A and B are shown apart, each in its own frame.
Chain A
Amino acid sequence: MALNLILLVLLLVAGIWTVLTTRLVRSVVGLALVSAVVSILIFRLNSPLAAAFELSVCAGLISVIFVTTISFTQRLTAERLEERRKERLGKYWYLPVILIIFGILLVVFKPKLDFPLPQVPSEQDTRNIIWHMRHVDLLGQILIILAGVFGVVILFKEPKK
């Protein structure tokens, strides 16, 4: 429990840093840290395959996508950055207050979580579930990946001059 608590606190700290930091690249690094901590928590919750996916894809690939997108945009000047910092300070100081109040409310009025859930087939092997029980999901994933590739080709196509 102690390690889980430490990891959850680290998760929240990384999340707050992601939200509050001024520079976009630092925000992306914070997001990668959130993903890494989430993957450790997933691993500790007895789901190693999902943890490996989360770490490689979310902490790795998505960070690369964000950094690539940021590299296409222009860097802010020092004055503009300072201006943005003041603007953000006015906008985001509510967040820690909201989080503290919300957290205290949740601790005081612990929600009852003993509601019934629908019965699902109990199969523990993820590979069996993916390949045999939920193969329609695989078809959906393939279609979505193809749609994504098509979308990227269309979006990054250079306009004809």
Chain B
Amino acid sequence: MNLAGAQTFWYFYIAIMLLFVMGAYYIIASFNLIRVLIGLELLIKAVTLLSILTGYLTHNEGLAQALVITLIVIEVVIMVVAGGIVVCIYRNNKSLDTRKLKELKG
């Protein structure tokens, strides 16, 4: 098994890689905690699309869908917990700026 049909879909790979670069740049350049989470979401979107595309090219759409559904469930839980952590940090510091998170306990 190989990705023989991948050359036909080269434009998909380029868009996925650009989306990934966008998410990574957002995480690196932003100091706002919510924006960091949005950047993480962009990265996850790129990975989701790549998984589905690989499943399509290898004729394993069923397996790719099962993996993506698992990924989405985990993604939601991560976002809910991360949202809770962000709210807690905001209550304690009155700011979402990561540069101001220097005075943590421990």
Contact = CB atoms under 8 A, between A and B. Distances in A.
A69 B59 contact: no
Interface residues of B, number: 67
Interface in A40-77: 41-42, 45-47, 49-50, 53-54, 57-58, 61-62, 65-66, 68-70, 72-74
Contacts of A107: 14
A75 B18 CA distance: 31
Interface in A101-117: 102-103, 106-107, 110-111, 113-117
Contacts of A129: 62-63, 65-66
Contacts of A123: 62-63
Nearest to A42: B52
A62 B77 contact: no
Contacts, number: 211
Given A50-B64, A65-B79, A119-B1, A72 B49 contact: no
Contact-residue size bin, chain A (C-beta under 8 Å from the other chain): 35 or more
Contacts of A119: 1
Contacts of B4: 114
Contacts of A151: 80-81, 84
